[in-house]
Amino acid sequence: TVYYQPQMSIRDKKILGVEALVRWIHPVEGMIPPDKFIPVAEMSNLIHEIGLYVLNQACTEFSTLTKAEIFKGTLAINFSSRQLQFNDIKESLYKVLLRSDLDPSKLEIEVTETLLMQNPEKISLILNELRELGITIAIDDFGTGYSSLSYLNTLPIDKLKIDKSFIDYITTDEGNKSICKAIIAMGNSLNIKTIAEGVETKEQMDLVESLGCDEIQGYYFAKPMDIEGLRKFILENKVQE
Ligand code: C2E
Ligand code: CA
Ligand code: CA
């Protein structure tokens, strides 16, 4: 099943988007987190089917919210290395968007920094093709891979997601704070949005806000929830105009 975690604009405290996060509801084991089965699926072709399932399910469910005018924000979906490199990726995405009647500008693809740097030339070609459809691109777990900074200038990137490991100690460790500050400053000057991942406290939010970060995602604002939970959350919190 697919859960959704809201992403909030720090400035006006409104939901700008959600990230789709897959879960396996096992009849005996209960809810199995993606870390337990995505890496296994990656080793087999199952990642193809799971990826398509998540894409279809998330776009279809999410589009009910946009069509009912409950939500105007974006839907972010995680793509693994193998998924991104399937030959028909652009075609598949296009079909899913058509079928679910979702505006491509509402869809954001998250790829990790590590994946991006495995083969920057090739990945950048693929991302550029997806961008031609109107889809936006976010770099996940930013700061943990080994980015060649010069690529940030040439790759088609709309958003940097600052990895949770920096946010965890941002209020207690000067080094982590400096790294966040540098990432945010770089994003601002390259015109790339920044979002802090895994924000759990008000102190963490206030600090990233003071550094000029655009958005937060984390338990402080909202945990991942199913589509019904998300619908209620949006309506009850009146978190968008
Ligand atoms: P990720 O993309 O970095 O997703 C963020 C993870 O951090 C999610 O874990 C989310 O539930 C968790 N999180 C968010 N805010 C907080 C917080 O404030 N505190 C803490 N402790 N955790 C927080 P989740 O859902 O277990 O997903 C783990 C990873 O599995 C994701 O990391 C992503 O890499 C992968 N994944 C999830 N769904 C998919 C999918 O559909 N396709 C692919 N390829 N990978 C997926
Ligand atoms: Ca992600
Ligand atoms: Ca992440």
> Mind listing the pLDDT tens digit for each residue in 10-39?
999 999 999 999 999 999 999 999 999 999
- Report the pLDDT value the prediction gives residue 7, as an integer from 0 to 100: 97
- The structure tokens 């400053």 sit at 185
| Residues in CB range of 238: below 8 A, 6 or more apart | none
40 in Cβ contact with 50 (< 8 Å): no
- Report the pLDDT value the prediction gives residue 240, as an integer from 0 to 100: 52
Q: From ligand 1's centre to the CA of 45, what distance in Å?
A: 21
For 1, 16, 66, 183, the CA distances from 234, given in Å and listed in that order, are 20, 11, 12, 30
Local confidence band at 239 (pLDDT 50, 70, 90 cut-offs): low
Q: From ligand 2's centre to the CA of 140, what distance in Å?
A: 5
**Cα–Cα distance measured from residue 102 to residue 176, given in angstroms and rounded to the nearest whole number:** 38
- Report the pLDDT value the prediction gives residue 85, as an integer from 0 to 100: 85
**Cα–Cα distance measured from residue 56 to residue 82, given in angstroms and rounded to the nearest whole number:** 18
Which residues does ligand 1 sit against, CB inside 6 Å? 5, 21-22, 33-35, 38, 54, 78-80, 140-141, 198-200, 218-219, 224
Phi, psi of 113 (to 5 degrees): -60, -40
Whether residue 233 has pLDDT greater than 90: yes
Q: Per residue in 40-82, pLDDT tens?
A: 999 988 999 999 999 999 999 999 999 999 999 999 999 988 8
Proximal ligand: closest to the CA of 80: 1
134 in Cβ contact with 101 (< 8 Å): no
Local confidence band at 238 (pLDDT 50, 70, 90 cut-offs): low
- The structure tokens 């550029």 sit at 128
**Cα–Cα distance measured from residue 165 to residue 75, given in angstroms and rounded to the nearest whole number:** 23
Tokens of 190: 């390259």
Give the residue, by CA position, lying nearest to ligand 1 atom 17: 198
Tokens of 38: 């995505």
Average pLDDT for the chain: 94
- Report the pLDDT value the prediction gives residue 150, as an integer from 0 to 100: 83
Whether residue 147 has pLDDT greater than 80: no
